[in-house]
A and B are shown apart, each in its own frame.
Chain A
Amino acid sequence: QSALTQPPSASGSPGQSVTIPCTGTSSDVGGYNYVSWYQQHPGKAPKLIIYEVSKRPSGVPDRFSGSKSGNTASLTVSGLQGDDEADYYCSSYVGINNYVFGTGTTVTVL
């Protein structure tokens, strides 16, 4: 199973929005509504911020939103803040209790 494709980097100024695409195939992203997103600060464990394409766990600000169209899922971070500077990974269920992650995107707040 190949990793999902994400751009290596994305950036925006404070208050702006940034959108991170996550491209897979009909066997993963396109085949299931089970895309999740994780935020990882340097030296820390990942944190779940979106599950089932667009749902937010309790405590995650509504500045984080997810969507999907065909084989591409997207994470949008609105109203960028300094603490949003981190690595972001998408993940998709691929069947038979297997999962695949994206290649990761480093978000820089300018």
Chain B
Amino acid sequence: EVQLVESGGGLVQPGGSLRLSCAASGFTFSYYGMYWVRQATGKGLEWVSGITNAGDTYYQGSVKGRFTISRENAQNSLVLQMNSLRAEDTAVYYCARGGIAAFDHWGQGALVTVSS
């Protein structure tokens, strides 16, 4: 059974940093592209970042230069390093596995709150 478990969420001040992790199990992690998708409270889904199985990285415009996605295949782990956080980054962050141009499995989400 595919499982994705996010951790590392919490409260951080504007301008601060936070590191989200996603522990994957139940599939061969190194074979798949992985993604982060976020959802502000009461709002829609927003694609944030992705990393291919080869390690190529991609970012949505508003996070480019501030967020860094990475993966550690030996640990079956996906990471999102978030720097220079803003109030508008407040959201639940989901880790998702890449399917055929889709997100075929999702974690339960980690809440990130940026506030003073």
Contact = CB atoms under 8 A, between A and B. Distances in A.
Contact of B109 (A45, A91, A93): A45
A101 to B, nearest CB: 4
Interface of B: 33, 35, 37, 44-47, 50, 52, 56, 58, 60-61, 94, 99-109
Given A45-B94, A96-B58, A97-B52, A104 B44 contact: yes
Interface of A: 1, 3, 32, 34, 36, 38, 40, 45-48, 51-52, 55, 57, 89, 91, 93, 96-104
A64 to B, nearest CB: 14
Contact of B101 (A34, A38, A57): A34
A103 B44 CA distance: 6
A94 B103 CA distance: 14
A52 B100 contact: yes
Contacts of A97: 33, 50, 52, 56, 58
Contact of A101 (B47, B101, B105): B47
B102 A36 contact: yes
B101 A51 contact: yes
A51 B102 contact: yes
